[in-house]
Structure 1
């Protein structure tokens, strides 16, 4: 239980710091700690609404409420659709999906610098946000995520600055994670005691991480998120093999 509590503290801190739902960090650690991958997925989704709510309160001044509305609509649709497929896809395939999505995440963070010509032509509207969030959540839910690891890069591509992207992502993942958690709970994938320990740790860590995030320079937020996501994606893939 102490291990799960520590995982909650660490991943909650990362969630508040970088605006991710925490799955990119939490799932690999829960998996390495000995939980079945589907249980790690389910616990991650159950924890996210609590940690994201605490972090979103700290970031509330930077939330783009209009864009958040579109992300929630698309994200929840993708979550419900993809969640039904997770129980029938082999663990190794899920781990590979996890790695691919993580690489896309990092490319998205630096999209305006890697592909400046394409970035300048992007003119996002409501349909773009909804369809983008639907697709991203369809991908991320199949590896137990709420979309939070991809929302900040996606919103950066849509020309939000990193702080607004982080804040808006945190708010949206409250709702996208709830939609997925309901399905995993119904299937019996969530183990209650580890989940409670992770929730307690995550709420505490999220508050601390969000306060530090607000005082951190944009550049270091982007670099830290990139390194973290790739390292932990490789951990999941290696353990699955």
Structure 2
């Protein structure tokens, strides 16, 4: 059954797109991630232009994180002051990302930039996650505990000025790295259509020593606001948000996440990290292949406006 996507300007199989939403929702529920870094490449693989894929996935991520953020808010597992500090720079990063997105699109370098960025990001993160997952799996088989860093330990980040106390997370840290992390996540999310949760959570845990009890809920609030802002900015500036595509993905994602959450609770965390790392690395290799393979159509036609 074909359905026409007005902004993407092509017909797609509605069951294929729904299945993609279900799959990414299942993976998101299993691994506790937003899934945008997997959804965007999959949309590109089925023929949707990178520009439309990135802009449309931001709305999908915003909708999928809304219910999660509400749930963590009710459990009082969100550090609101930390989220506000992250968002103070995150909104600026999102605006900068949307501006760069428009500039790259105007000079016809957007597709190449997105492809190279995904190859670099996914392969690097995939390798690191595979390495950590294998080490954790080996430790588990030997009966050794996971060598996690203590929440109370300090690093060079804690020696920076402009410190602020975050009572909910029980940390006293400089605002400089907080703003830097917020800007980076907002910028990457706007350019690549990534919620940033799979980058934000490790940064908050390992750099700022935010407890896991509040890090996921705080990350969801950050993702919700930045992705909502990115959707509005992309729609107003670039006019590339395909509401029909986003709606289908949302329906599949909500359903798939429920089954993924139940499956993830039955598996060991070490094995989950290893599987996710393999998945991320595989998508990165697929992107690399598309960048070097000779296309079927060696020529393209575009309209050049006269000055």
Tell me how far apart the structure 2 counterparts of residues 236 and 224 of structure 1 sit (CA, whole Å): 19
Rounded Cα–Cα distance in structure 1 between residues aligned with 2:266 and 2:183: 32
C-alpha deviation, 1:79, in angstroms: 1.2
Gaps of 5+ in 2: 1-13, 133-146, 159-172, 293-307
The Cα shift of 1:6 comes to 1.2
8 Å contact kept, 1:42–1:190: yes
For each residue in 1:103-148, what CA deviation from the matched residue of structure 2 results, as whole angstroms up to 9, or x when unmatched?
55454896xx7999xx851434333212112023323422222323
Quick check: 18-27 or 37-46, which moved more? 18-27
What secondary structure does 1:26 align onto? helix
Aligned equivalents of 1:214, 1:56: Cα separation in 2:
19
1:134 matched to 2:134:
no
**Alignment match, 1:174:** 224
Seen in structure 2, the aligned counterparts of structure 1 residues 75 and 12 have a Cα distance that, compared at 3 Å, is: farther
Q: Which structure has the highest helix share of the two?
A: 1
Residue 153 (structure 1) aligned with residue 191 (structure 2): no
Among 160, 178, 193, which residue is 2:244 paired with? 193
Task: Kindly indicate whether residue 270 of structure 2 is the aligned counterpart of residue 219 of structure 1.
Answer: yes
Say whether 1:96 aligns with 2:116.
yes
Among 35, 41, 47, the alignment partner of 2:60 is 47
Partner of 2:24: 11
Q: Distance in 2 between matches of 1:171 and 1:230?
A: 27
Whether the 8 Å contact between 2:129 and 2:273 is mirrored in structure 1 is no
Unaligned runs of 5+ in 1: none
Q: Per-residue deviation at 1:67?
A: 2.6
Cα gap change, 1:211/1:75 in structure 2, threshold over 3 Å: closer, same or farther? farther
- Kindly indicate whether the alpha-carbon contact (under 8 Å) linking 1:71 and 1:130 is maintained by their aligned counterparts in 2: yes
- Give how far 1:216 is off: 5.1
| 3-state SS of paired residue (1:232) | helix
Distance 1:156 1:148 in 2: 12
Change (3 A) 1:201 1:182: same
2:91 aligns with: 76
**Aligned Cα root-mean-square deviation (Å):** 3.1
Higher relative contact order (CA 8 A, sep 6+): 1
| 8 Å contact from structure 2 (residues 25, 35) kept in 1 | yes
- Structure holding more strand per residue: 2
Aligned equivalents of 1:114, 1:238: Cα separation in 2: 36
Q: Is the contact between residue 189 and residue 227 of structure 2 (CA under 8 Å) also seen in structure 1?
A: no
In structure 1, what is the equivalent of residue 82 of structure 2? 67
Instruction: Provide the TM-score with structure 1 as the length reference.
Output: 0.82
Corresponding position of 2:166: none
